[in-house]
Structure 1
Amino acid sequence: METVRPGCFRAVVSVPLGRLTYSFLVDGQPKYNPDCPTLVNEAGVRVNVRHGGSDGDCDGEADEEWGKGRPSRARRVLSQVSGLDLYSQHSTSDIVSMLVFRFFYLAMIPAGAYYFFWLSVRGGNRQAPVCWVVFVMSEILSFVSALISLFGMWKPIKRRWRSLDALRPALPVADWPTVDVIICHYKEDTEQLRQTIRAAMKLDYPAHLLHILIADDGFFPTSKMVERSDIGLALYQTCVEEAGYDPLLEETMNERGLVEHYTVKAGDDLPRHDCAVEAHQFEFGPYGADMYGPGALPRLSLVARVKPADAHNKAGNINNVLSNSNAEGKIVLFLDADMKPVESYLLRVLPLMLEEQRSDSLQSQLIQAEDPELGAGTSKSWQINRDIGFVGCPQRFANVSGDHPDYCAHRNAIYYDGICTGRDGFGMTDFVGTNACWRREVLNEIGGFVYGSVTEDTLTSNEVHRRGYISRYADEDLCWGEAPVTVAAALLQRQRWAKGAIMNGMRIFKGAAKERKEMLLSREKPSELSEFYAYRRQQRKPNNTFVSTMFWLDSTLYPLLGWGAFGYVFCAIFHLITAQAPISPTSTQSLAGAFVTYYLIRYGAFFSAFYEVNMTDVLRSQQCWFSYSFAHTVGVWDALFGGAKFGWVANTGQRHRRSWLEWFNILTLGALLSGIVWRLFAFIVIEEACSPYENFGAVAFGGYVAWMMAPVALVSLNERLSSADESEREGKPMPVPTPIIAAALTILGVVFLSGWANARCGIEARG
């Protein structure tokens, strides 16, 4: 291989037509490329092979790389169709469910096209044109939402797990990368943060390779204010207690008044000014030889900033730590203040950032004896995968796990247990702001966290993917936090997410990312190795254009596509008031051929995609699609007309016990229940028990929508009306006196049936 120009390489590839094996010629020597399929030939030499072929029938032959026989021809064909790794640990059900999903997903397109044709030409109720049109628009929005969001489940990945201390061949501890753990804090309770600090300091990782940094944005309360806040003092005391060392005590013992482990950077000494006027760093040790002593704790630092006028919120806080402190780890783990990692977090996640490096591979000729990101750079077996930007893992919440009810869908299992594994198959998993390990080199390349959105985490991952980097997903319970405990906090959180989604989408659409060149940190001339990996990423980008577009549409349009919920609510209430349905099929066969067929195929695609997700979580996600629609709409309005700023929302919800957003769910549920009562009354008194199908159809439709809206609305009512303690009413629905309601419904049911029998149409039916 030779360099033609920076980022462009030329290689001679010899692939005779009569053979299926080939190799790359590098300086006249045959080498194999690990990016292409390989096998070991009869001479014991590893060579590249065209997919599905070999020198002969090699079904079941031994492969030294894997230590087992190669898969059979049938399994290789099936794997090629399904997109699964041939050698991954997966069950037959994984392949079958993927193929079933692809069948239903593709079938959903023609089924949907025919359904909308039927709905527009044959099945609509032209006697209720407003309800009909609204229903059609809602169905279109729902179909587009399903088409876009389910695409990400085309090839989900179930990764093989391995631990950093159990790699084969082994990776010496001396070659493990240095890690900075950045814990973001603003106004969260310091006792809650204390638990996160303790969890980070207990990580099963060499202490001298760890550096815990508290990125505190509440130490100095306002822009350009240098007086420490009360919460800043409390946080400082917390760090002193956890580390057992107070750097400010040195000031009284030093004749010059110098404090060795308390530094302030300002003016020309500040590397980056867009995120801080001053950067204050407190070092709590250990130092020097103490870092390597038995039982030593990791280094602990507190980094605060005096904010500029435009502080850029969390993104500015993180960029201040990355650029203006002494954080220099090759890997950066980001955590929210309430997210506590398990001890094995780094051991489980870091292997996903590595790739095996063989001495006779193409890359080894470029790397030679240098790997600046992996420890001492002496490992001949492993190296950091330069194509990876970050590796994330799901957020788990202790207060809604296990048997704890999750009426507000905080577990978000559809996303974390389903969609993220699907996007991992494309190497484009989103960054959710916490629980992710990043390569510092990638962060330096993009200039740190990207500004311009209230959801800077997603915007930053979009920028990384735009440059051709991939991301991976560790689908394991490695971090535990606390979900919002009130409906108000949950609604405000969803409002912020919706606002950020629209802001991110507009930014990408306008191509604003290309205008950030002046914000990039200064970099040295790229090495030949860096150019090689940049070339690999550029080669991959065109293949990801369609995938990137689909994921951009999914991430941007979900608040808008949720407007279909408004349409269903309107149609349900209209149907209850007037007994006029939005559809009017001419026959059962017509209904089955369009409506029933479409929904059978659509639900087949949905449930085959998320068959491993708990069904209760699936139900909660469907219910919250209705309950969060208004909050999403407010977020969209705020993004388009309300400006870029958004008030801080406490993750625990303690600062937001009430929100006017809750009234939409409460009033909608009240309107639906009132409509059901009205429809039953009108059926007996006004319509004299005639047209039972239209009336009971309205009750069924309204009852379904009310069921979708009820959980969140009842939790809101309980939080507002209950006299119980906060811990008893938060996150729990209003208690329903089931025996009393059952008795009342029994009596009313008998009265209703009696009225039906004695109404005009009831008497006529009896003859």
Structure 2
Amino acid sequence: MDVQNTINELTKAKEHEELGKITVHGWMHKQGSRKFKGPVAKSWRKRYFALEGAKMYYFHSDVDCRKYFNSRNGELVVGAIDLRDAFKLEQSERLDLPARGIVIHTRHRAWLVCPETDQDFTMWFDALEFTVMSAGSGNVVKRDLPNVRVYEMKGRFSYRFWYVIFVITALIELAGIVLWFPLGIEPCDVKYKTDTCEEIQLLYADTLQCGDKPFNGVWDPPQWYHWSAGIETVQCFKEPHIGDWVSYFLFYLAEFISISLGFLYYLGMWKPVRRGARYLRDFEPHFPPEKWPTVDILLCHYAEPAEDTIATLEKIMNLDYPPHLFHVWICDDGYCKSKWEAGAAVPKVSVNTGVIEDAGDVRHEVAQFMYDRVCESYELEVDEWRKEHTTVKMPTNANPRIVNRADCAVGSVRDDYHYHGLPKLTFVGRIKPPVHHSKAGNINNVLYNEGACGRYAIILDNDMKPHEMFIQATLPFFFDVPQNSKITRCCAPGCGDIGKICCALCQAAGVPEAQIMYCSKDCYNASGHVKSSVHRRQTQNTMSERMMCASCGSKINQKKGLCRKCNRAVSQRDSNQFVGVSADDYSDHVSVNQVGYVQTPQYFEDCLQLRLGDPCGHRNSTFFDSAQTGMDGYDCASFAGTNAIFRREALDSVCGIQYGSLTEDAYTGKMMVDKGWKGYYFRKDLEGEEADRIRLAEGAVPESVAAALAQRKRWAKGNFQIFLRNKKSLVTPSGSRRKWSCLRSARSTSSCDGSSS
């Protein structure tokens, strides 16, 4: 008895000693309480947190924290989190947080806090993990996030509620225009509603334009319409002039079009998402660089200043990717000038001196760029050195067809620079056919005539300078998780076989399978899982009971947590099984991943126009911040013409960049979506700490108002051309909402115009 009293006294002394001992403290962001969900109501409060024992207090300031632990004045405490009820601790997958978030699941709610830096995140997570494990309340700890993740943006319920209200209100408005405010039912004289037209005419000297039937006698509405419009007793109606009717129907048509466009636009925001991903080099399990895919980078150029091209090229050459795995193509559309005469089989080709005088000689500048990097001695002039790398494909009368696809080019002038330690660089000057299809033909010429064979292709405009991590940030979306990484071994002591059965109760509670997986019933019983603290904690703290097996759907033994069906199927133990996680298991095959392209935002370098408030709207915030995230929820983000990476198989499935529209980019993206490919939208400037948030590509804004208006005109005209291409495909039963979501940005479908010759 004395021994027990001694133990109790020592325990109380230890608890008293730990009382007031702060394990960790610091500033964190905490999400405040909200009356309804949605970004508008979301509020983040910066609070000072202190972890004492199994409780985490938060205060308005660090001064209040010190005062509280000196005086124990409860009025200084804003709130507290009792970690004795916490059964799950994980890193938040949300991408709209001020910083990396920690989610603490208790019986009553889930707490979300955001340390300010990565160091603070590690410090707090370690302390909370130790506290939760020591308290014996739970053991589900998820520190790492998946390689690729998608976050469903908050506020969907609120948005959908207001969308339904908008639809109902709009329909009531349209009905009201027809039922209560139309022409043709106005009484001839409001004072004498029940009098006939003859009786009213006697009161006026001038002839009245009235009739005994509404709507000029053209339509006799039913009785319920008379009742709803309040004209049951009216005997004489005004007969409006034809001009009044034209104005009325034009007004109704304008309202109908406006509301219809609103329906389509706001429907696109039905389920907006944001995406996040590790860099390819940071994949877990590790993805070795020797297994990375090859990439073609297509830099499109036509009459832009040569210095802009070289500035972009310098950024491309510094990309964080093995240089032997990516090939840079300068797709020049203005170097060669082809003049076609009537009846001639081949054109007269010359150097386009006008473009060179205005914008500079890009071919020479590219040669100079490589010359400065690879030549140690300057024995040869740049142009002489360049000629050693030149290949000319020129059509002749004897052989007019020298390319695979004559729809995009009839020949080319190219310079190939391939040196060890540097990415391969190729300048291609296209010789245009009579109908050259502008930028679309320029890109297709490189893809199908010049030998571009990378598994992926990045398309950039001349001024869009990519960040050095562009490839590392966008490629992860094309790779599925390793299949073998999902296979775990038996966790029974002394057994290393493949796990085949697990406790369904613990699995439903979120316990990692590596802690609850067994190869057979013998190992399951031998490990004593039912009596373990892992099983006890989760069965006590599970928020929703799981009565069915997570693997096969059969009933489970509620006491043991073992699936009878799965146990019978694997009752025999195989002791010679071994499977290791291999990097080869990362796959971008279309059978496991159907992502066709990933579009990134268009950002612009700092300039006077942006500092003045962006009067021309170059940032396109509505499109890149709202519309793209909405379409991304349907896996059909719009291709914006630049800053995008494509799967080569997806491009080949639609015969390359599409023709038939001034906005060939949007048209191509819509064609891929209709073929079954997915289009993603990814922003890297919303993830991680401020220092880690990067703009994947930045460019220059149009230099004048006239250039900006011409750009908008081209967009509007091109989108209307897309809409008129093939309207029937917009109303097919399959994927109708997905198609209409793309239609809201004037995206439609078409047949493949640029077929291979």
- TM-score for the superposition, normalised by structure 1: 0.51
Q: Does 1:546 align with 2:737?
A: yes
What do the CA deviations read for 1:311-344 (whole angstroms, capped 9, x no partner)?
Answer: 1111111111011113221110000111111111
Instruction: Report the Cα distance in structure 2 between the residues aligned to 1:352 and 1:252, rounded to whole angstroms.
Output: 42
Q: Distance in 2 between matches of 1:252 and 1:470?
A: 45
Mapped to 2, the partners of 1:201 and 1:360 lie a distance apart of 34
Determine helix, strand or coil for the equivalent of 1:333.
strand
Indicate the residue corresponding to 1:211 in structure 2. Answer: 327
In structure 2, how many angstroms separate the alpha carbons of the residues matched to 1:401 and 1:174? Answer: 45
- Percent of aligned pairs sharing the same letter: 30
- Distance of 1:192 and 1:251 partners within structure 2: 20
**In structure 2, distance between residues paired with 1:355 and 1:299:** 28
Name the counterpart of 1:498.
716
- Cα distance in 2, alignment partners of residues 207 and 87 from structure 1: 24
Q: Which residue of 2 aligns with 1:379?
A: 584
| Amino acid aligned to 1:462 | K
Q: Is the 8 A contact 2:408 2:437 kept in 1?
A: yes
> Alpha-carbon deviations, 1:134-159, whole Å to 9, x = none?
54433322211111011111111111
Contact 1:261 1:284 in 2 (8 A): no
Q: Secondary structure at the match of 1:355?
A: coil
Are 1:352 and 2:477 an aligned pair?
yes
Q: What are the ranges of 5 or more consecutive residues in structure 1 without an aligned counterpart?
A: 1-58, 77-84, 292-296, 363-376, 513-540, 558-643, 645-767
* Higher share of residues assigned strand: 2
1:476-507 Cα distance to aligned partner (Å, 9 max, x none): 33111122232222222122112211221222
1:113 matched residue in structure 2? 171
Partner of 2:690: none
Question: Is residue 171–residue 382 contact of structure 1 (8 Å, CA) maintained in 2?
Answer: no
Q: How many residues get paired?
A: 438
Q: Against the structure 1 CA distance between its residues 72 and 545, is the aligned structure 2 distance closer, same or farther, given a 3 Å change threshold?
A: farther
For residue 552 of structure 1, what is the amino acid of its counterpart? L
Q: What secondary structure sits across from 1:379 in the alignment?
A: helix
- Sort the Cα spacing of 1:550 and 1:165 in 2 relative to 1 into closer, same or farther, 3 A: closer
2:414 is equivalent to residue 281 of structure 1: yes
What runs of 5+ residues in structure 2 fail to find an aligned partner? 1-85, 94-101, 111-144, 187-239, 340-346, 488-581, 685-694
- Is the Cα–Cα contact under 8 Å of residues 400 and 410 in structure 1 kept in the other structure? no
d(CA) in 2 for partners of 1:408 and 1:479? 20
User: How far apart in 2 are the matches of 1:252 and 1:192?
Assistant: 21
Once the two structures are superposed, the pairs formed by residues 211-610 of structure 1 within 5 Å of their partners are 211-223=327-339, 224-230=347-353, 231=355, 234-244=361-371, 259=388, 261-264=390-393, 266=395, 267=399, 269-286=402-419, 290-291=420-421, 297-359=422-484, 379-383=584-588, 386-398=593-605, 399=607, 403-476=611-684, 477-509=695-727, 543-552=734-743, 554-555=745-746
In 1, are the aligned partners of 2:150 and 2:273 still within 8 Å (CA)?
Answer: no
CA contact (8 A) 1:203 1:346 kept: yes
* Alignment check: 8 A CA contact 2:274 2:682 kept: no
CA gap 1:466/1:60 in 2 versus in 1, 3 angstroms: farther
Could you tell me which residue of structure 1 aligns to residue 288 of structure 2?
172
Instruction: State the distance in 1 between where 2:609 and 2:156 align.
Output: 28
- Structure 2: which amino acid aligns with 1:380? D
Normalising by structure 2, report the TM-score.
0.52
Distance 1:400 1:336, change over 3 A: farther
* Partner SS state of residue 275, structure 1: coil
**Counterpart-to-counterpart distance in 2, 1:192 and 1:63:** 46
Match of 1:202 among 304, 318, 327: 318
Q: Distance in 1 between matches of 2:729 and 2:325?
A: 39
Q: Residue 264 of structure 1 aligns to which amino acid in structure 2?
A: K
Residue 225 to residue 389, structure 1, CA distance change in 2 (3 Å): farther
What is the rounded CA distance, in whole Å, between the counterparts of 1:73 and 1:468 in structure 2?
43
Deviation, 1:381, is 3.5
Amino acid at match of 1:238: E
CA spacing shift, 1:99–1:121, aligned 2, 3 Å: same
Distance in 1 of aligned mates of 2:705 and 2:90: 56
Q: Which has the higher contact order (CA 8 A, sep 6+)?
A: 1
Mapped to 2, the partners of 1:177 and 1:492 lie a distance apart of 39
2:475 partner SS: helix
Is the Cα–Cα contact under 8 Å of residues 281 and 472 in structure 2 kept in the other structure? yes
Cα distance change, pair 71–300 in 1 and its aligned pair in 2 (3 A): farther
Q: Of 188, 195, 198, which residue of structure 1 is paired with 2:304?
A: 188
Q: Is the 8 A contact 2:156 2:271 kept in 1?
A: yes
Residue 347 to residue 71, structure 1, CA distance change in 2 (3 Å): farther
Which segment drifts farther, 197-206 or 378-387?
A: 378-387
**Separation of aligned partners in 2, 1:479 and 1:552:** 27
What RMSD, in angstroms, separates the aligned Cα atoms of the two structures?
4.1
1:676-704 CA distances to partner (integer Å, 9 max, x unpaired)?
Answer: xxxxxxxxxxxxxxxxxxxxxxxxxxxxx
Displacement of 1:544 in angstroms is 1.8
Equivalent residues of 1:60, 1:69 under 8 A apart: no
C-alpha contact (below 8 Å) 1:219/1:304 kept by paired residues: yes
- Distance in 2 between the 1:70 and 1:213 partners? 50
**TM superposition shift of 1:394:** 1.0
Secondary structure of the residue that 1:432 maps to in structure 2? Answer: coil
8 Å CA contact 2:604–2:700 kept in 1: the answer is: yes
Amino acid in structure 1 at the alignment position of 2:599: G
Distance (Å, rounded) in 2 between the aligned partners of 1:411 and 1:383 = 33
Distance 1:222 1:171 in 2: 47
The structure that has the greater radius of gyration is: 2
Contact 2:335–2:429 (8 Å) recurs in 1: yes
Aligned to 1:715: none
The aligned counterpart of 1:702 is: none
Structure 1: how far apart are the matches of 2:160 and 2:436?
Answer: 46
- Seen in structure 2, the aligned counterparts of structure 1 residues 328 and 198 have a Cα distance that, compared at 3 Å, is same
Distance apart, 1:509 and its partner CA: 2.4
* 2: CA distance, partners of 1:116 / 1:270: 57
Q: Is the 8 A contact 2:147 2:283 kept in 1?
A: no
Q: Structure 1 residues 165 and 87 mapped into 2: Cα distance closer, same or farther (>3 Å)?
A: closer
Aligned equivalents of 1:123 and 1:349: distance in 2?
55
d(CA) in 2 for partners of 1:211 and 1:87? Answer: 26
Letter in 2 for 1:172: P
Deviations for 1:226-271, whole angstroms, at most 9, x for unmatched residues?
A: 21123457111110122127999699999xx994553436555422
Q: 1:153 to 1:60 in 2, by over 3 A?
A: farther
Task: Give 1:89 deviation, angstroms.
Answer: 7.8
Contact 2:264 2:743 (8 Å CA) reproduced: no
**Is the alpha carbon distance of 1:481 and 1:400 closer, same or farther for their aligned partners in structure 2, counting shifts above 3 Å?**
farther
